[in-house]
Amino acid sequence: MEESLYIHGSDPIEQDRLSRLNDWLNQSCLAALNLDSRVHRVLDVGSGLGQFTRAMAGVLPDDAFVLGIERDARQLEKARNLAAGDPATQKLEFRQGLAEQLPLSDPEWGSFDLAHTRFVLEHVRRPEVVVRQMAAAVKPGGSVVLLDDDHANFRLWPEPPGFAILWEAYLRSYERLGNDPLVGRRLVSLLQQQGLVHIEPKLIFFGGSAGQSIFPVVAENILGILMGSREWMVSEGLITAGLFEDCIRLLDDWRKLPDATLWYGLNYAEGRKPQ
């Protein structure tokens, strides 16, 4: 299977961006999951720095087990370092592998109460393969939870000049990689196609406005994902280097406005494997 390409990379700047994003978003995602004492075995696909993997482990019973799967060796190393000394570590294992080919032993297939993935499907060429693997990993009655972006569902106000051009180039950069920047709108279909039932969609607010303590985080996150994609966008001819820099400068000016607002929702869908 041809390996998917992750547009943002995993250098220290990107890891720092992801870490700050996790710090802000994890509580909202935990609340949406609503984990209870019936959940003992969790599979986290594309666990990254492991912050949300640890957050899930932290609210589960002492005899729970949470397995994080991550393909990038640098992310995996950082995840293990961050987990050192965390009381939840005794419930955790981090393992290297692909979301499309989960590194599970024969007894592990069909053994999990919950399989979860976040910000992964937008970066793979065949998201249906990932969801099929997740569905096979959970036991009958178990849940598969998908959280991902629909990057068209994104608005800034007041919109900075040139931002529409910059964002369109960003979306097209996904398509050049063979990935889908709009996959969030397909989550229910992806679950239904794998035979999952009782599917529930939600939106998790993913934005803020000037004056809120969270606003610098969300504004810097947008700048970070665009700056991290610059090389690919320019090399592919999706935007010129000069226009990119002009748009970034105007975006930086935007976040200083008293009414600057970022409207966004993280798409969430949960389905159950039939008994």
- The pLDDT profile of the chain, 275 residues, written as one tens digit per residue, is 455 555 555 567 666 776 777 777 899 999 999 998 889 999 999 999 999 999 999 999 999 999 999 999 999 999 999 999 888 889 999 999 999 999 999 999 999 999 999 999 999 999 999 999 999 999 999 999 999 999 999 999 999 999 999 999 999 999 999 999 999 999 999 999 999 999 999 999 989 999 999 999 899 999 999 999 999 999 999 999 999 999 999 999 999 999 999 999 999 999 999 99
DSSP 78-140: HHHHHHTT-GGGGGEEEEE-BTTB----GGGTT-EEEEEEES-GGG-S-HHHHHHHHHHHEEE
Q: Is the CB of residue 185 less than 8 Å from the CB of residue 268?
A: no
CA distance 264 to 210: 15
Q: Give the number of residues written for the chain.
A: 275
Token couple for 228: 């991290």
- Paired with 262 in beta bridges are 156, 208
What fold, for 12-272?
Answer: Rossmann fold (3.40.50)
Name the pairing type of β-strands 154-157 and 138-148: unpaired
What's the one-letter identity of residue 182?
L
For residue 271, the cross-strand partners are: 144
Q: In this structure, are residues 104 and 138 in contact, taking their beta carbons and an 8 Å threshold?
A: no
Element (H, E) at 29: helix 12-33
DSSP sequence for 170-197: HHHHHHHTT--TTGGGGHHHHHHHTT-E
For residue 126, the model assigns a pLDDT of: 97
